[in-house]
Structure 1
């Protein structure tokens, strides 16, 4: 029937409806502000963690905090694009603050938010779970790794190929583990808070 009328069926032409309302943008604004504060404080957590626990464990306890904008945006708004916007807007505000990352914070935010967004889109926004957020957080870690390659590629190639490969794998696992850990904590915290207010 679709061939006769020249119209595509819903299955052959999938669409993503955003349907954002003022309240959704208000939530994203709040997420952006809170996320930027968390991102700012994460620098101190990272410095303290790496000093006390070493580079790998220090990354695990801190890096997931830099992916929190995506998780908060997705859980609170629950619409396509909310993870990406939550992370990117938070990173934009962080880039304005006097942090070591400067403008590169926005690059990280875009890639981390995009990685989380793709996971949420694939799994579906309507039935978000702690597991889906943990996977989105882990994906954000891969986004951070890609940003590292784009911004600091020369540092990776200062070592031998074998050492570089080991370094990339170790960093990827640490980023993903931290992202999954903090995403699960943030999702559960927000879910519990919303349930209590309902």
Structure 2
């Protein structure tokens, strides 16, 4: 983090706090969906729990942004009272690593929609592997397990990647991100 500017750290931290609250707000939605559809109901919206990693990485564009933002958000979520407790921080670390992997594969140089969606898929896959062992998915049939994974990957791609990009682009259009990599990219587009 030697080459991070203070305002990048502040924005990443603020985003993490905001999305920790969003994550808590979506827990009842996930529980309702799971009550109606079984465990796969959570997978429909699981992408919401990765979104800060995609938004922070897309805005800041530095190694570690996805990982750190997701880890901070999970930590804040625990401090705000998530019933899972401290184990949730490990979940955040794993999700952040999954998202960070997609950016690392491009050496943190490409932030296209495809890469953002792959980051969401990466977070989905990493979290699913963790959930498989932690939550006992092995008790389900193979078809159901594969369906859960596919639904979670789609959720990661669409909610985290596509919606994360839309939220970030919306912020950039307002000019509030003008001193960040994404804001500079938007200024170049406007000038062209």
Runs of 4+ in 1 over 4 A off after TM superposition: none
Secondary structure at the counterpart of residue 172 of structure 2: helix
- Which residue is 2:65 aligned to? 82
TM-score with structure 2 length normalisation? 0.81
CA–CA distance in 2 between the matches of 1:29 and 1:139?
22
- Contact preservation (8 Å) 1:28, 1:82: yes
Q: For residues 158 and 192 of structure 1, do their structure 2 counterparts lie closer, same or farther at Cα, with a shift above 3 Å needed?
A: closer
Please state how far the C-alpha of 1:127 moved relative to its aligned partner.
3.1
CA–CA distance in 1 between the matches of 2:67 and 2:164?
16
Larger radius of gyration: 1
Higher relative contact order (CA 8 A, sep 6+): 2
Secondary structure at the counterpart of residue 110 of structure 2: coil
Q: Does 1:35 align with 2:19?
A: yes
Secondary structure at the counterpart of residue 146 of structure 1: helix
TM-score with structure 1 length normalisation? 0.79
Q: Does 1:128 align with 2:106?
A: no
- Which residue is 2:28 aligned to? 44
Unaligned stretches of 5+ residues in structure 1: 1-16
Unaligned stretches of 5+ residues in structure 2: 179-192
- Which residue is 1:178 aligned to? 155
Q: Does 1:188 align with 2:172?
A: no
- Contact preservation (8 Å) 2:70, 2:92: yes
Give the alignment's Cα RMSD to 1 decimal: 2.1
Q: Does 1:168 align with 2:145?
A: yes
Q: Does 1:20 align with 2:4?
A: yes
